Amino acid sequence: MVILNRRFRNFIVLVLIIFLCLVAITATFRQSEIISTLKSKTIDFFKPIQEKVFSLFSPVIGFFNYIRDYINLRDRYLELKAENSSLREGYVESANLRVENDALRKLLDIKLRGGYETITARVIGFSNENWQSEVILNVGVSDGISQGMGVINEDGLVGVITRAGSSSCNVRLINDPQSSIGVRVLSSRKLGVLKGSQGGIISLDYIPVGETVLKGDIIITSEYGNLPGEILVGRVSKVSEDESSLYKIVEIEPFADFRRLEYVLVLKQ
C-alpha cells in the first residue's frame, strides 16, 4: 500500500511538473511579461556569485583555449599568411580609394559617420548548446542597456541584447538558431540576412543564385536593420548552390571568437 501510494505520489508530482512546464513554454511563446520579469530577476539574483565564479575559472578557461589554439596553430598560420598577402594587395588599392573618397566627400559636403557611444561589459555566463548560443553580461538597465542593442568586441559583431535586467543582460550570439541580422556583402553591397543554426553554423540567406558571392568576401551589418551599419561581422567561408532553391547557400565564418569572449562593448543607440 505504501509503495502504491509512493508511486501514485510520484506520478502526481510528474503530472504537475509537466503541467507547469507546458504553462511556462506557452508563456514563452506568447512572449509573456511575467517570463521576461522572471528572467531578469533570476539573472540579477545569480549575478554576484556568477561573476565571482567566472573570474575564478577564467584562468582554466584560458588554459583550455590555449590548447585549442595550439592544435589549430598550423592551419591558422597558413590561413593568416594567405590573408596577409591578399590584404597587402588590397592596402595599396584602398589607400588610393581613401584619397579619392576624401576628396569626393569634401566636394559633396558629406559628414563621416561618427563613432558609436559604447558601454564596456564583462561576460559572466555562457550557454552554448546545439540549440542556443547566449552570453550573460554584467551590465543592465541601470547602466543604460536596453533590448535590441548590438554587442561587439575588437574583432566584430558578437550579438544582440535580447533581455535586459536591472544589472545584467542576455546577449543572443549571431550563431544562435534564432538570430537573424540584416547584413551586406562588402564588395558587392548586396543585402542579405545572417542566420544562425543548430551546431553554430552561420549562413547568409536570400542571396539569389545569379549574384556573385565569393569565398573570402567580407560581411558587414546593413544600415537598414536595428544595428548601426558597417560593423564587421565575418567572412564568407563556403558558397554552394542547391538546384531546388532560388538562393545560394552561403556559410559565414564570424570574426569574433565566441569561446574567447571576456570583455565586450554594447553599442548605445
In the set 1, 4, 5, 29, which binds other proteins (CB under 8 A)?
29
Determine contact, residues 147/164, Cβ cutoff 8 Å.
yes
By CB under 8 A, residue 188 contacts other proteins: no
Hey, which residues between 107 and 166 contact other proteins (CB under 8 A)?
A: 124-132, 134, 136
**Nearest-approach distance from CB 45 to other proteins, in angstroms:** 9
Distances (CA, A) of 51 to 57, 65, 138, 234: 10, 20, 8, 29
Residue 264 CB, shortest distance to other proteins, in Å, is 14
* Binding-residue pattern over the window 68 to 97 for other proteins, x denoting contact by CB under 8 A: x-----------------------------
Cβ-based neighbour number of residue 213 at 10 Å: 19
- The answer to whether 53 contacts other proteins (rule: CB under 8 A) is yes
Q: Rounded CA gap, 158 and 191, in Å? A: 19
User: Distance from first CA to last CA of the chain, Å, rounded?
Assistant: 65
Give the integer Cα–Cα distance in Å for 182 and 225.
Answer: 5
CB of 224 to other proteins, least distance (A): 25
Asked if 229 interacts with other proteins (CB under 8 A), we say no
Should residue 198 be labelled a site residue for other proteins when binding is judged by CB under 8 A?
yes
* Residue 247 sits in the site that holds other proteins (CB under 8 A): no
Choose between 21 and 95: whose C-beta lies nearer to other proteins.
Answer: 21
- 4 Cβ contact partners less than 8 Å away, ≥ 6 residues apart: none
Residue 59 as a binder of other proteins (CB under 8 A): the answer is no
Least Cβ distance, residue 199 to other proteins (angstroms): 4
The verdict on 23 binding other proteins (CB under 8 A) reads yes
Is residue 64 at the binding interface for other proteins, with CB under 8 A as the rule? yes
Residue 25 engages other proteins in binding (rule: CB under 8 A)? yes
Contact positions toward other proteins, by CB under 8 A? 6, 9-10, 13-14, 17-18, 20-25, 27-29, 35, 38-39, 42-43, 46, 49-50, 53-54, 57, 60-61, 64, 67-68, 124-132, 134, 136, 170, 176-178, 197-199, 201, 259
